[in-house]
Amino acid sequence: MANMVNLKINNIPVTVPEGSTILEAARTAHIEIPTLCYLKDVSCVGSCRMCLVEATGARGLVAACVYPVSEGMEVKTNTEKCRKSRKMTLELMLSKHKKECLACERAGNCELQRLSTEYGCDPNYFEGEPLDTPLDLSAPYVVRDRDKCINCNRCVAACKKQAVGAIGPIGRGYAVHVGSAFEMSLMESVCVGCGQCIVACPVGALKERTTVDEVWAALADPAKKVVFFTAPSVRATLGEAFGLPVGTNVEGKMVAAIRRLSPDFVFNMDVTADLTIMEEASELLNRIQTGKPMPMFTSCCPAWVKFVEQKHPEMIPHLSTCKSPQEMFGGLLKSYWCEKNGVDPKDLFVVSVIPCTAKKYECHRPEMNGEVDAAITTRELARMLKTAGIKLAELPEEEFDDPFATCSGGGTIFGATGGVMEAALRVAAKMLDGKFEVIDFPEVRGTSPIKEAVYNVAGHTVRVAVASGLANAETIIKQLEKGEKQYDFIEIMACPGGCVNGGGQPTLPDSIRNTEDLKSLRAQALYSSDKDNKLRRSSDSPVMDLLYNDYFGAPNSHKAHEILHTSYREDKRI
């Protein structure tokens, strides 16, 4: 048990474990110290100087986010000296900040804007140099606006934590700024598009490359049939953009809200999550039985796929050939659905709602044949709904449209780390042993960075691993290369915690991000939905019977490979 330390913060007695910081101690007394560079589990460097406080035994003001508590310490967080220091820091930041608050997507949800208002800052107190750096529009998934950057380096820390390192500080002193090596564009860099930099940014310096205008145009075009489909995790996060508690499942309200945008159909991407499992589980068994390259990695995360293509091309043969659920749905709609409904694929506009910025990049991959016309993030959908005056929380529950409405619980848990693995195990185990009825695989659940398990099914030993966050994927790859670990099947999600923590999810205030376990709360909404579903295994879904009996024949058939599978290529970057 850790030793405890007693101190006072603003004359309030506080007892915290030894090694705690002043920032952590203050929260136990319900005192919020302002921060900008600090972000729980991502960045803690004390560089922004917003959290400066007075503390006994210290010479001058100290950064609360990194300064440890000590026995008998007395801390003052709100003295005149503290307030003046913070106000000056903010006004210095504003002197180098493009002040476009009325048009900025982070307006009303910007940490710099909030703190500047609270401290009564004069945005023009210090006159900085003219700001005219061109936007970085090179990538189809993210826009970088250097003139809004406050050099908090949270994006740098997030990228480093992902073992990517596409961005970092360049220059010194007043000229320091965040960019890619040799001032190259993001698209030229080793960026994989995961978007963790966007959700880490406290201002509007980074945002997704929006395709909302294209979606509005399609909705207004009488010659177009517009189809929306939503990824599994979106139902667990969309409510946050409308003030609902973290982890609220708004599936029915989400369908009702999208329907009020007037598309022709609203479908459930959980259906192609089920389809992915049918194909992936069959591919795994085929690899085991035929001696093809093992272990097999999942391939439903495009940021992970890009990471492999750029950094570990030797692992490409180990990637499942399955497309992601997004691209499977695009292919399914522009083949099977169009054929059945007499629709020319050119007249169909397919919109996926996704938790991920890398899915935007995926749409542009030539292997995907442009089958998804627009991928919009959870944030973009929320903006569309607000523009249309749709009050999500007040809507009734509505159902997805047939024939792509019914899914299994296995398809729903795709959005949480370990969910793909568990869904695949449910089906693969049943394929190996028709009597195998185990549904829950708790060993692969939870937000631990790396999870391992061994299962014995019908005389087969299946060794599995699950990792979320690309640094953890890197660890697994190194262990495999050194022969330290042996696995048969490995699930990788680029974003820590999986899609529920994706780079396209709602951007929440630091006061929530630094205190709530977002990954667990959002994932629990998906697991609760899975538990309440009478269909727990992807192979039990009647939609799978429809698709295979009516069109594909069997998993991994020739037709299935034409529409549902793809290939990958080495992508050399510096």
What's the rounded Cα separation, in Å, for the pair 542 and 546?
A: 6
The pairing of beta strand 450-457 with beta strand 460-468: antiparallel
* Active-site residue identified among 283, 309, 422, 491: 283
Residues near 69 by beta carbon (within 8 Å), at least 6 away in sequence = 5, 7, 16, 18, 20, 21, 22, 25
- Give the count of beta carbons closer than 10 Å to the beta carbon of residue 267: 25
Q: Do 538 and 274 touch, CB atoms closer than 8 A?
A: yes
* Active-site residue identified among 111, 280, 309, 371: 280
Provide φ and ψ at 33, rounded to 5°. -95, 130
Q: Do 161 and 472 touch, CB atoms closer than 8 A?
A: no
Q: Is residue 300 annotated as a catalytic residue, yes or no? A: yes
* Active-site residue identified among 148, 225, 253, 359: 359
3-state secondary structure 11-78: CEEEEEECCCEHHHHHHHCCCCCCCCCCECCCECCCCCCCCEEEECCCCCCEECCCCECCCCCEEECC
* Active-site residue identified among 111, 309, 327, 362: 362
* Active-site residue identified among 299, 320, 352, 541: 320
Q: Do 431 and 282 touch, CB atoms closer than 8 A?
A: yes
The strand order across the sheet containing 296-297 reads: 296-297, 489-493, 460-468, 450-457
What's the rounded Cα separation, in Å, for the pair 82 and 93?
A: 17
Q: How far apart are the first and last CA of the chain?
A: 47
Q: Is residue 280 annotated as a catalytic residue, yes or no? A: yes
Q: Do 193 and 357 touch, CB atoms closer than 8 A?
A: yes
Q: Is residue 320 annotated as a catalytic residue, yes or no? A: yes
Q: Do 465 and 490 touch, CB atoms closer than 8 A?
A: yes
* Active-site residue identified among 300, 322, 356, 407: 300
- Give the count of beta carbons closer than 10 Å to the beta carbon of residue 386: 13
Contacts by residues 28-37 (CB-CB < 8 Å, ≥ 24 positions apart): 31/77, 32/511, 33/64, 33/65, 33/77, 34/86, 34/115, 34/118, 35/65, 35/510, 35/514, 36/111, 36/112, 36/115, 36/150, 36/152, 36/202, 37/65, 37/152, 37/153, 37/154
* Active-site residue identified among 208, 499, 529, 541: 499
Q: Is residue 422 annotated as a catalytic residue, yes or no? A: no
Q: In angstroms, what is the C-alpha Rg of the chain? A: 25
* Active-site residue identified among 71, 367, 481, 570: 367
Just list the catalytic residues. Answer: 280, 283, 300, 320, 359, 362, 367, 499
